[in-house]
Chain A
């Protein structure tokens, strides 16, 4: 009988402990407002944020994004709407225009974490990302190094850029230039070609570059992988560009396939999945009273012919 009471008491205590544990798991609604959801790269950020929700059933993650990375007005409306939504407990924002978002979130008391691009505002508790400029620098340096290995004496680099005036484009451009120059190369600022982040326009830009430089160029860097792939294909039949390094940005699946096929040479990868997951985690930690670091590094890498297959397998796993 005594034994029975001891067992019953233990079971009751365990149940009470479990119940207390569940009660401590508060329910939170987290709004994740991204630059867009309409691209493969942002698909990984979405997958990362949603994965956090799956791993933590008490966290309800609502992901949304503008229809394109230049739809500033759309994102502005989304932020305005969610800032007025009483059900939201915390925010993750990837700003299309950081200064614009800084104005919009002024005075917001709920925790806000910036992802991918930082927002300089006191309301933002932390920035999860790498920063386009530092990631670009990593890529620029790797491309210049590879160009040297491929036998180029003069490391000239021309960029096929995205949308002129766009802050992401400008940051990547600065990074590429700094990276190439850090390896003793020359970034040809006067020959930057703007292709509005579109592959079709990148082909026209690459054709113009080949006209102006029949001798070949060591490094062609592009603002995204679509443009880098298009430029590589446009130059495929030109012997002077056989050893050119075509550098893209994002490290998406199609880029890995292109690298494996010997078209695009390398791509800068920001870890979208980790950014999505860690940014939601940061907001939840802030809601639970934890003090966040001002910067949470999501990491960046450069994928090349040797690492493209592993990266491809990893990306496919994220979207399963």
Chain B
């Protein structure tokens, strides 16, 4: 189990998070204030939703660069419908989730049925399509005053400690536990890892890899839609121009820091959660310490490079271990 979860590497990631928290607590006494901790959890939730879908794609050795734009498109679609007279919040959320799922399904279909060479290309194209679509549906306007049901996920808190525990993070905890069980205990979950490890071998073993991949991209779309609903609740607005933001980069970084690999077959929900927390803590620390935006860019860039470097080192160590094991068997 420990091997499957990449226990050693995750221990290092947890240690990095702990050290970062310790440093920030030392540098600014407000870091550990209940209000700030709850703020970090709120700030983690959006990226954690996107990273869930991104992880599924990365496990299959793919990528979904449209997650951020899809989230904003879904938020804008709700805004456009609200402006058009739809006031039922539940209906707005259902439409958003269906739209996100459809966009994800199209991404998956482009890859598996229309045989576009790599999801990097198709999802990058989809990102632009969704950015434009978000502007079109809102008529280039910022939209606010959403129904209370739509704002529940992003705004509601439970209790009074530190201003209340955010419902969004509670949903994330439940989602991550469910996804962990799904990935590690179900046939489809294991098929996703198999497909990422060796696509051809998986196909030859009788698993419909096209369906598995399409499922992953559709799930990514659903997660993006949930992220969009969350963003409307947090900010109270939607704006098509937000689709230009590098949300996908943060989601990829969370997955890679958490142990996923661009070569596929690896990655866990717990690792992704720690990755998302590291990014949120880092950004929170930048604000508390009033660090200049240019330095922020440098540090975040270095963290992403370091995470990818760790991925490369991890892969080469694993290859070496396999070679040694094979040599020992041969003797």
Contacts and interface: CB of A to CB of B under 8 A. Distances in A.
Interface in A53-75: 62-67, 70-74
A167 B138 CA distance: 13
Interface in B35-89: 35-36, 38-39, 42-43, 46
B290 A97 contact: no
Interface residues on B, range: 35 or more
B144 interface: yes
Contact of A97 (B43, B46, B237): B237
A123 interface: no
Given A77-B283, A84-B33, A97-B142, A163 B241 contact: yes
Contact of A64 (B140, B234, B290): B290
Given A84-B38, A165-B140, A63 B234 contact: no
Contacts of A72: 235, 239, 242, 245
Contacts of A87: 29-30
A67 B299 CA distance: 12
B317 to A, nearest CB: 34
B245 A167 contact: no
Given A84-B36, A86-B30, A100-B235, A77 B135 contact: no
Contacts of B163: 84
A309 interface: no
Contact of A38 (B42, B241, B290, B294): B294
A80 B296 contact: no
B247 interface: yes
A86 B39 CA distance: 13
A85 B245 contact: no
Interface in B228-248: 231, 234-237, 239-242, 244-245, 247
Given A67-B297, A97-B237, A73 B288 contact: no
A70 B246 CA distance: 10
B287 interface: yes
Interface string A131-170: 0000000000000000000000000000000011111001
A166 B241 contact: yes
A87 B213 CA distance: 50
Contacts of A97: 142, 235, 237, 239
Contact of B30 (A63, A64, A85, A167): A85
B284 interface: yes
A214 B299 CA distance: 48
B194 to A, nearest CB: 35
Given A70-B244, A97-B239, A165 B290 contact: no
A103 B232 CA distance: 11
B236 A103 contact: yes
Given A67-B293, A99-B237, A78 B287 contact: yes
B293 A66 contact: yes
A78 B294 CA distance: 15
Given A65-B293, A87-B30, A99-B144, A73 B245 contact: yes
A95 to B, nearest CB: 11
B27 to A, nearest CB: 13
Contact of B287 (A38, A82, A167): A82
A73 B142 contact: no
B283 to A, nearest CB: 6
A74 B280 CA distance: 10
A37 interface: yes
A81 interface: yes
Interface string B294-309: 1011000000000000
Contacts of B33: 84-86
Given A64-B290, A72-B242, A100-B235, A165 B135 contact: yes
B43 A165 contact: no
A257 interface: no
Contacts of B296: 67
Q: Which of A38, A65, A77 has the most B CB atoms < 10 Å from its CB? A: A77
Given A63-B290, A81-B284, A100-B236, A70 B39 contact: no
Given A37-B293, A71-B245, A84-B33, A76 B287 contact: no
Contacts of B43: 77, 80-81
Given A63-B290, A84-B33, A84-B35, A103 B235 contact: yes
Closest 7 CB pairs of A and B: A84-B35, A103-B236, A165-B241, A100-B235, A62-B290, A165-B140, A81-B287
Given A163-B244, A166-B241, 6 more contacts: A72-B242, A73-B245, A77-B283, A86-B35, A104-B235, A167-B142
30 contacts: A37-B292, A38-B293, A64-B290, A64-B293, A65-B293, A70-B244, A72-B245, A73-B231, A73-B247, A81-B39, A81-B284, A82-B287, A84-B39, A85-B33, A85-B288, A86-B30, A86-B35, A87-B29, A97-B239, A99-B237, A100-B235, A103-B144, A103-B235, A103-B237, A104-B235, A164-B135, A165-B140, A165-B142, A165-B239, A165-B241
Interface of A: 36-38, 62-67, 70-74, 76-78, 80-82, 84-87, 97, 99-100, 102-104, 163-167, 170, 196
Interface of B: 29-30, 33, 35-36, 38-39, 42-43, 46, 135, 138, 140-142, 144, 162-163, 231, 234-237, 239-242, 244-245, 247, 280, 283-284, 286-288, 290-294, 296-297
